[in-house]
Amino acid sequence: MMRWKKLAVIPMLLALLVAACARGAATPVAGLPAEAQAVIKERGLSPDDIVAALRTYIPGGKYDEYIMFSSGGHSGQVLVIGIPSMRLLKVIGVFTPEPWQGYGFGEKGTLEVLEGGFARGKPILWGDTHHPALSETEGEYDGQFLFINDKANARLAVIDLRDFETKQIVKNPNAISDHGGGFVTPNTEYVVEGPQYATPVGWEYAPLDQYKDKYRGLLTFWAFDRQKGRVDPDRSFQIELPPYWQDLCDAGKKVSYGWVFCNSINTEMATGGVEAGNPPFEAGTAKNEMDYLHIINWKKAEELIQAGKYEVMNGMKVLRLTTAAQEGVLFFAPEPKSPHGVDVAPGGEYIVVGGKLDPHVTIYSFEKIQKAIAAGNFERDPFGVPVLKFEDVKEAQVELGLGPLHTVFDDKGYAYTSLFLDSAVARWSLGGPYRKDGAEPWKLVEKLPVHYNIGHIAAAEGDTVSPDGKYVVALNKWSVDRFAPVGPLHPQNFQLIDISGGKMRLLYDMPIGIGEPHYAQIIKADKLKPFLVYPEIGWNAVKMAKDPNATEPGRERMEVREEGGRRVVEIWMTAVRSHFNPERVQIKKGDHVIWHITNIERARDATHGFALGGYNINLSLEPGETATIEFDADQSGTFPFYCTEFCSALHLEMMGYFLVEP
């Protein structure tokens, strides 16, 4: 018995020796201090592990090179993650109230932001956040704003990156749900919200047997006013599309500036009904070999809108389908087969469509599309939309593997496509102007397994006109066995991949335990210039301006007045370490209370909270911020209010009494 064991051990040792000699002195493990060697041994780390650790470790006090803004999935929030450390820096409350940030728990400004996203008055306090989009100038991220859509309720949110807070939510007045958004045009002229599941146009009811006549997709162009930092619904418009279930979209850039591309997955116009013996949607929508890439001239659409060729539906200008089809706004090109991602190459020359049910990515040439349109060589679909010939517009097809979904780009002429079914990332070479290194164009180079079921993929500045390369992040839907079990609902898995070398290298698994993120964008960290404290005392963080109710120290007061037969009590309070002023607020039951609180601190990180138990109120008052709460004192009693952000040694004493006489 012992002998056998020895016999097994000897070849193993020999193998190790050979391996060690093969690596030679170049291995970084040699020459490490004894303590490091001991740690490596104790933790059983491989040389690859050590390289990965060294590539991702950021010592305390040092900053990450990139910041990733990720959809928070069902949490309705946005995650801010450092790269390469994959540390979570912040969760930004967007569609869902967020108590730590005082977002939607009494503060008037934030409640108004959330109310902007109510559906015809109905409170909607979550979101299925999908695609974050950083604002761009000439196709480059400018670090000023972030947009994100809510698929479940067709909404778009605006986050100001001066303070990483949500400033506006707009509800699409004509769409129930959406998908292919948000993404921006190259100068953030518009934030585009693409549709998905077709519904009767104008928020109407129509039975499914009227699907072809009544049901439509709507591509929404939300005009963005950069000066105000707000979407301007009055300048926004929509383009009516056939009920083909448009999926993802991307904006043309550089040579294809002025165009938008969306794909579609249900040109079959399947209406489901598995319970009635019909093919279920999953089969019905996959019947055709080809669906349609939508090619949309938004500059032309903008001209038509300005020329008044629109109808107003629920307050929104809509360019009707017949106009779009006849006036050169909308064209189709066949695409195989129920595809998913559509991504425009950095220079705008190529449009890459991920086949999903087809193992290829199909690459379309913008130049060829323009030639085909000019030649007028097309048929029309049942809605009168010109359909270009596949062979006229196709540049190449590259077979990558099973389930190609989304594509991002690097700085060396390579594209990276997520393969859902293969659970892999494919690196493949672009052609044309991207191929100056003599490598074979349009060819699969390498596949890297990821864990598992990758959806979107994000690259460092990967969908700008000048990607940085360096890193790719795989947004995996399943983590299965990658983390310690935490119950049947498993975390998602973000995997950081180093793409700087000859081979892709997996560096880090980051569990996401808050929702299922869809897309993420990665910006160079030094492009972000956020406030460290608000610029002046009395700052209204929603309006991003000084608040008229800012309270100077020494001007704290309480006023009582009669208004419409009831008492209105208005309080102007300050907060500073470690007290509120006033500390006693005495009113009568039934009073209407308007309460302004200003944090008069100027020190970095000297945030105060304000919680009023029994009234569902919590505020976050960052240094300089003024917040306002307004409510009816409908229950009598003695309510302590206190600071909810541990601010100082006397933080517990930072409280007061709200006394409501019966």
Partner 1 sequence: MIERVNAWLQEDPFRLPRAFFIGASWLLLFSLLFPYWRMTLQAPQYPGGLRVDVYVTHLAGDVNEVDNLNHYIGMKKLHEAAQVERFLAPLAIGAAALLGEALAFTRRRWMAVMALPAMLFPLVFLADMYYWLYRYGHDLDPNAPLRLPPFTPPLIGTGVVGQFRTVAELQPGFWMALAASILIALGLHFRRVVRTAIERHQPVRVGPFVLTPEGARA
Count of chain residues binding partner 1 (CB under 8 A): 9
Phi/psi at 553 (nearest 5 deg)? Answer: -60, 135
Is there binding between residue 15 and partner 1 (CB under 8 A)? no
Q: Which is nearer to partner 1, 12 or 649 (CB)?
A: 649
Nearest CB to partner 1, comparing residues 480 and 603: 603
Instruction: Tell me whether residue 61 or residue 121 sits nearer to partner 1 (CB atom).
Output: 61
| CB closer to partner 1 out of 10 and 603 | 603
Among 583, 650, 657, 661, binds partner 1 (CB under 8 A): 650
Nearer to partner 1, 27 or 578 (CB): 578
Long-range CB pairs of 524-528 (<8 Å, 24+ gap) are 524/65, 524/66, 524/141, 524/460, 524/461, 524/468, 525/63, 525/64, 525/65, 525/66, 525/67, 525/82, 527/141, 527/142, 527/143, 528/67, 528/143, 528/161
Give buried/exposed letters for 311-323 (b at 16+ CB in 10 A, else e).
Answer: eebeebbbbbbeb
Segment 233 to 272, residues that bind partner 1, using CB under 8 A: none
603 lies in the binding site for partner 1 (CB under 8 A): yes
Q: In whole angstroms, how close is the CB of 606 to partner 1 at the nearest point?
A: 8
Query: Least distance (Å) from partner 1 to the CB of residue 645?
Result: 14
Q: Identify the residue among 251, 576, 633, 660 touching partner 1 (CB under 8 A).
A: 576
Strands 545-546 and 539-540: antiparallel
Q: Which residue type occupies 135?
A: S
Which residue in 63, 56, 62, 61 sits closest to 84, CA to CA?
56
Q: How many residues does the chain have?
A: 662
Query: What is the nearest approach in angstroms of partner 1 to the Cβ of residue 507?
Result: 29
Binding-site member from 578, 590, 636, 655 for partner 1 (CB under 8 A):
578
Which residue lies nearer to partner 1 by CB, 242 or 624?
624
CA distance to 90, 516, 596, 608, 617, per residue, from 627 (Å): 21, 32, 6, 11, 12
**What span, in angstroms and rounded, lies between the C-alpha atoms of 147 and 224?**
10
Q: Is 577 in the site for partner 1 (CB under 8 A)?
A: yes
> Looking at the DSSP assignment, which residues form a beta bridge with residue 350?
365
Q: How far is the CB of 574 from partner 1 (least distance, A)?
A: 12
Maximum CA extent, the chain: 98
Does 652 sit near partner 1 (CB under 8 A)?
A: no
Which H or E element spans position 368?
Answer: helix 366-375
Per-residue tokens: 543: 């309006």
For partner 1, the closer of residues 49 and 605 by Cβ is 605
Q: Minimum CB separation from partner 1 for residue 643, in Å?
A: 15
- Contact between 601 and partner 1 (CB under 8 A)? yes
Q: How far is the CB of 361 from partner 1 (least distance, A)?
A: 49
Residue corresponding to tokens 């608040």: 547
d(CA 476, CA 457): 9
What's the min distance (Å) between Cβ of 579 and partner 1? 9
Q: Is 67 in the site for partner 1 (CB under 8 A)?
A: no
In the bound complex, what is the minimum distance in angstroms from residue 559's beta carbon to partner 1? 27
CB of 602 to partner 1, least distance (A): 5
Q: Which of residues 498-527 bind partner 1 (CB under 8 A)?
A: none
Q: Does 39 interact with partner 1 (rule: CB under 8 A)?
A: no
In whole angstroms, the minimum distance from the beta carbon of 544 to partner 1 comes to 22
Give the binding range for partner 1 (CB under 8 A) out of 170-178, 384-392, 466-474, 575-583: 575-583
CA distance 235 to 223: 6
For partner 1, the binding residues (CB under 8 A) are: 576-578, 601-603, 649-650, 653
